Amino acid sequence: MPDEATNPSGGAGRRRRTRRAGGGAAATATSADATTAGAAVPATTMSVEEDGESITADRVEVTRAAVGRVDSRELSVQLGAIGAARADRIEIDRGALGATMAGEVSVQRGFARTVLARHVELEQSGAQTVVANVVEARGAIVGFLIARRVSGEVRVLFDWRGALAFGAAVGLLGGLLSRGRRGRARGR
């Protein structure tokens, strides 16, 4: 059961929640200062110690935990996993990221499934799909890469031309297989 405490100044809207579960995993979120009736309300911290939570805050730090969804300005993950994230800046260190829309994404020794961002940095990391304006990589492997500018060491399995050819081949093969099944069904 969550413990909830309102701000000490009596301001409404900002709350601190703490959920406890075994395993020592933790995610911490900080909300920015707000004003209530002209008085400043101090930033609050939400410590979520249960995997799978959804978090909305200004700054989120995840350490050895899994979070379902995060909406924030800044997201930092160490040894953790995020299902989906939307943020201005995301830093992943030895973690995993499912899907993200962000301004800047930095992944070090981790994996990102789908990244849509303006600027992406990959260091000794892997990604399934990256769509970005600028990609900087050092020892990275990417499945599908669509970018305006790419620099550094990156092994791309399919660039936009390869992805287009792959999609056409899969579509053609799927069409032929379905046509063959329909032909066999009529002959029975």
- The tens-digit pLDDT sequence of the chain (188 residues) is 343 333 333 344 433 333 333 344 566 655 543 332 333 334 455 555 555 567 888 999 999 989 999 999 999 999 999 999 999 999 999 999 999 999 999 999 999 999 999 999 999 999 999 999 999 999 999 999 999 999 999 999 887 788 788 889 999 999 998 888 877 777 65
Token pair 């200062």: residue: 33
Residues listed for the chain? 188
| CA distance between the termini of the chain | 61
∠119-99-111 over CA atoms, to 5°?
Answer: 75
Spatial CB neighbours of 67, under 8 Å, sequence gap ≥ 6: 27, 48, 51, 52, 53, 54, 55, 60, 80, 81, 82, 83
Q: Report d(CA 75, CA 62) in Å as an integer.
A: 8
What pLDDT is recorded for position 162? 80
What pLDDT is recorded for position 97? 96
Q: Cα-flanking dihedrals φ and ψ of residue 109, to 5°? A: 50, 50
